[in-house]
Structure 1
Amino acid sequence: MSRRRTPMLTERPPIPLRNKVAVAALAAAMLAGPGVAQAAPQAAPAPAQERVAAASITWSIERASNPTADQQDAYNRITAAMNAAVSRYNNLSDLGKNIRVRYEPGVPTADGNINGTIRFGSNRSYMTQRTALHEIAHTIGVGTSSGWSRLGGSGTWTGAQATALVRQFDGSGAKLSTGGGHFWPYGLNYENEFSNTAADRHVQIVAAMVRDGM
């Protein structure tokens, strides 16, 4: 007797992946109906906001081409004082000024002009950060500008921002007195007024005076 053969189940070869993709795409197109599908346009990136760089104080010193021992010693002391003062101004304010420094032995102490020049005399006791801070304030307008005359000419500073700041420091009754091209408190008019706190407040008050319109 012949035996009935049981048909063998054979595994169909897998449909290639690209054929599957093609079939899926065709099915999607049929479901979507006529028309051309387009990708949604991407939004253009928002333009970056322009940033205005904060101003800063820079300085340079005039040097003799072949300095004497006295000149070199003065240059070293003045450089240390100016570097410390300029760093404090730049850390605590956005004031801008290009300052030119000269060593002139005939100057009794030191002086600063709104045109951006500072002169140091031969007296070493004035080659300090306190003096440099004080003279930088003169180059910015303290005692040397029309705004100073308008806001400080009465003997009391009348600008709102600097007045509010000194009251924040010293209480609601505090005021900034003015006279002889200087202000107090925190004007750093004498060496015994210097401390890190007083120096910081000096810079902050000068910056507030500028905002007031000095």
Structure 2
Amino acid sequence: MSLYKCKNEIVACVWCLLTLFSCSSDDHQGQNNTNEPTKEITLPVLETSTIEAVEAFKATLWGKVINNGGSSISERGICYSINENPSYSDNYEKAGFVKGSGEFQVSLQNLQSGTTYYAKAYAVNEKGIGYGNEVSFSSLDIIAPTLKVGEIKVAGAHDIWLDVSVPNQGDLQIEEIGLVYGTTNNPTIEDNIVTREDVVLDFKARIPNLEPETSYYIKAYAKTLNGITYGDEVTMATIKKGNFTWAFWWEDKNEPAFGRLREAFDKAAWYYNNFTSIEKHVNVNYNTGTPTADANFDGWINFGANPDYQRTGTAMHEMAHTVGVGTHAKYWELMKGTWQGNRANEILQMMTNDPNAEIKGDNTHFWPYGINGAHEDDGSEMLYIIHALVLQGMKADGLPNK
């Protein structure tokens, strides 16, 4: 074999070996560099599921993320509109509560009452915003406050008292509450008005400065952001003004007791004339021998020297004796431990806010509000007013007027 031929064979063998190792290396490298196909990220898939607790201005909705689209959810909630096909660019509210199952709850606030809304669940991932199916609901009409005037009403010659309650406050906060009234039916706030300083849902209202023997139409009212709401109309008449007069049987202007008694009887007569329709004239006698005070149905009143009794409360107490309390057969007929007449007890119950209150008494006195002794006279206006109103109730039950 020639040297040239031998060299060629050696070169050919080396080439084959290099080619063999090169192919093996490429095959091995190809096996190591084979990559999985890249997974495509899609929009989230959702369900708009439950609508619950729909009210005038709010509603609660539920949604659920069925598939996150291969990417974590960065935000989820409900988008809504008064038009169909709502989107994130309209109104939206983020979820306030999320379950592990993917369900979430959203509370929509500040809705318009009586309005149809369209809503979709939404969720945001790396790809973008995905939406659920569209649902619709209608917010409720506004529930206005319910106002009620109590059945028992009490009147003097210039005042009327009524109990007002709000059984249902409705959907809006009450900003102002009170009574409207007038001498013609269907009064409004453009007529006469009595407004409370604060808003409460149960209160007693007094209408002052009225005309005697006049019928008034009255309604409770409440003001909210939605306007004025009125309760049912009631009527009540003021009573005839009383005519209770008095005079000293004799008078010593240098004796201080007469000054105290004059002030006491002027005030007592004022309360009787404005809160009863009693007509009576009485004579007041100052007698130092009288321990405290006494009176009879004939219109005679004695006062002693004790200054603790020379006051308005004792004057009213003795004036009650002159119109039959403890001095007339009709009183004894109606007072059987408790007063048997309806009207006087109704007045006591209404004015004291106690539906179980009863007037009690014996053959001479009644209580409460009989002002039976100086210790019961606290000088308060309501003590004197309720005493007079109870006496007016006794008169309505049959006690003599004169």
Q: TM-score, normalised by structure 1?
A: 0.69
Higher helix share: 1
Distance 1:127 1:161 in 2: 31
2:298 is aligned to 115
2:344 is aligned to 162
Deviation (angstroms), 1:196: 1.3
Q: Does 1:193 align with 2:380?
A: no
Distance 1:158 1:185 in 2: 15
Structure 1, residues 148-195: CA drift from partner, whole Å, max 9, x if none?
00000x210000110111121231111001114111111111334332
Q: Does 1:125 align with 2:312?
A: no
Distance 1:56 1:83 in 2: 12
2:247 alignment partner AA? S
Structure 1 unaligned residues grouped into runs of 5+:
1-52
Distance 1:146 1:107 in 2: 25
- SS of equivalent to 1:143: coil
- SS of equivalent to 1:75: helix
- SS of equivalent to 2:340: coil
Q: Does 1:81 align with 2:268?
A: no
| Paired positions, count | 158
2:257 alignment partner AA? A
Distance 2:369 2:253 in 1: 36
Distance 2:375 2:363 in 1: 19
Higher strand share: 2
Q: 2:320 aligns with which of 128, 131, 137?
A: 137
Deviation (angstroms), 1:212: 0.4
Q: Which has the larger radius of gyration?
A: 2
Taking the TM superposition and a 5 Å limit, the aligned residue runs for 1:34-113 are: 54-64=241-251, 67=252, 69=254, 72-113=255-296
Structure number with higher relative contact order (C-alpha < 8 Å, ≥ 6 residues apart): 1
Q: Which runs of 4+ in 1 moved over 4 A?
A: none
Structure 2 unaligned residues grouped into runs of 5+:
1-239
Distance 1:205 1:111 in 2: 20
Distance 2:274 2:241 in 1: 11
2:348 alignment partner AA? V
